Amino acid sequence: MAENRYSLDFEKPIMELERKIEELKGLTAEEGLDLSEEVSRLQSRLRKLEKDILSHLTPWQKVQLARHPNRPKSLDLTELIFDDFLILHGDRLYSDDQAIVGGLAKLGEEKLVFIGHQKGKSIKENLFRNFGMAHPEGYRKAQRLMNLAEKFNRPVLTFVDTPGAYPGIEAEERGQAEAIAANLERMSQLRVPILVIIIGEGGSGGALGIGVGDKILMLENTIYSVISPEGCAAILWKNQEKVKEAAKALRLTSKDLLNLKLIDEIIPEPVGGAHRNVEQTALNIKKAIIKHLGELKRLSPEELVKKRYEKYRRIGRFKRG
Amino acid sequence: MGWFERTYNRIKKKGKKTIDIPHGLWTKCTNCSQLIYNKNLEENLRVCPKCNYHFYLGVRERIEITLDKNSFNEYNFKINSDDPLNFPGYKEKLSKNEKKTGLDEGALIGEGKIGKIPITVGVTDFRFMGGSMGSVVGEKITLVIEKAMEKRHPLLLISGSGGGARMQEGVISLMQMAKTSAAVAELKKEGLLYISLLTHPTMGGVMASFASRGDIILAEPGALLGFAGPRVIKQTIKQQIPKGFQQAESLLKHGGVDLVVERSKIRSTLIRILDFTLS
- Contact B237/A169, CB-based, under 8 Å? yes
Q: Specify which residues B124 forms β-bridges with.
A: B107
In angstroms, rounded to a whole number, what is the distance separating the alpha carbons of residues B115 and B263?
16
pLDDT of residue B7: 57
Say what the pTM is.
Answer: 0.93
Domain that holds residue A193: 63-313
What's the number of CA atoms in the CB half-sphere (13 Å) around residue A217?
A: 24
Judgement on whether residues B225 and B264 belong to the same structural domain of the protein = yes
Q: Rounded to a whole number, what is the distance in angstroms from the first to the last CA of chain A?
A: 57
Judgement on whether residues A142 and A193 belong to the same structural domain of the protein = yes
Of A165, A169, A225, the CB nearest to B245: A169
- Contact B212/A175, CB-based, under 8 Å? yes
pLDDT of residue A235: 87
- Contact B174/A204, CB-based, under 8 Å? yes
How many independent structural domains does chain A possess?
2
Phi, psi of B236 (to 5 degrees): -75, -50
Contacts of B212 in chain A (CB under 8 A): 175, 177-178, 181
Give me the residues of chain B with pLDDT under 50, please: 1
Contacts of A262 in chain B (CB under 8 A): 171-172, 175
CATH of the domain at B153: 3.90.226.10
- Contact B228/A167, CB-based, under 8 Å? yes
Residue A112 contacts residue A78 (beta carbons within 8 Å): no
Judgement on whether residues A37 and A94 belong to the same structural domain of the protein = no
Domain that holds residue B79: 56-277
pLDDT of residue A2: 41
Judgement on whether residues B38 and B140 belong to the same structural domain of the protein = no
In angstroms, rounded to a whole number, what is the distance separating the alpha carbons of residues B42 and B6?
41
- Contact B167/A260, CB-based, under 8 Å? no
Residue A195 contacts residue A219 (beta carbons within 8 Å): no
- CB contact residues (below 8 A), chain B span 190-229, against chain A: 204-205, 207-213, 226-229
Q: Per-residue pLDDT tens for A245-275?
A: 999 999 999 999 999 999 999 999 998 899 9
How many independent structural domains does chain B possess?
2
Nearest-CA distance A162 → chain B (Å): 15
Phi, psi of A75 (to 5 degrees): -70, -25
Judgement on whether residues A227 and A243 belong to the same structural domain of the protein = yes
CATH of the domain at A300: 3.90.226.10
Residue A143 lies in a domain: yes
- Contact of B89 with chain A, judged by CB distance below 8 Å, is answered with yes
pLDDT of residue A3: 45
Judgement on whether residues B137 and B23 belong to the same structural domain of the protein = no
Judgement on whether residues B60 and B50 belong to the same structural domain of the protein = no
Judgement on whether residues A40 and A159 belong to the same structural domain of the protein = no
Judgement on whether residues B190 and B148 belong to the same structural domain of the protein = yes
Judgement on whether residues B200 and B84 belong to the same structural domain of the protein = yes
Q: DSSP letter for B68, please.
A: P
Residue of B nearest to A235 (CA): B167
Q: Per-residue pLDDT tens for A4-22?
A: 567 888 889 999 999 999 8
How many C-beta atoms lie closer than 10 Å to residue A1's C-beta? 13
Judgement on whether residues B89 and B173 belong to the same structural domain of the protein = yes
Judgement on whether residues A48 and A99 belong to the same structural domain of the protein = no
Judgement on whether residues A252 and A149 belong to the same structural domain of the protein = yes
Contacts of B169 in chain A (CB under 8 A): 226, 317
Judgement on whether residues A100 and A136 belong to the same structural domain of the protein = yes
Final residue of a domain: which of A17, A34, A56?
Answer: A56
Judgement on whether residues A109 and A22 belong to the same structural domain of the protein = no
Judgement on whether residues A85 and A189 belong to the same structural domain of the protein = yes
Judgement on whether residues A101 and A248 belong to the same structural domain of the protein = yes
ipTM, interface predicted TM-score of the complex:
0.94
Give me the residues of chain A with pLDDT under 50, please: 1-3
Judgement on whether residues A48 and A81 belong to the same structural domain of the protein = no
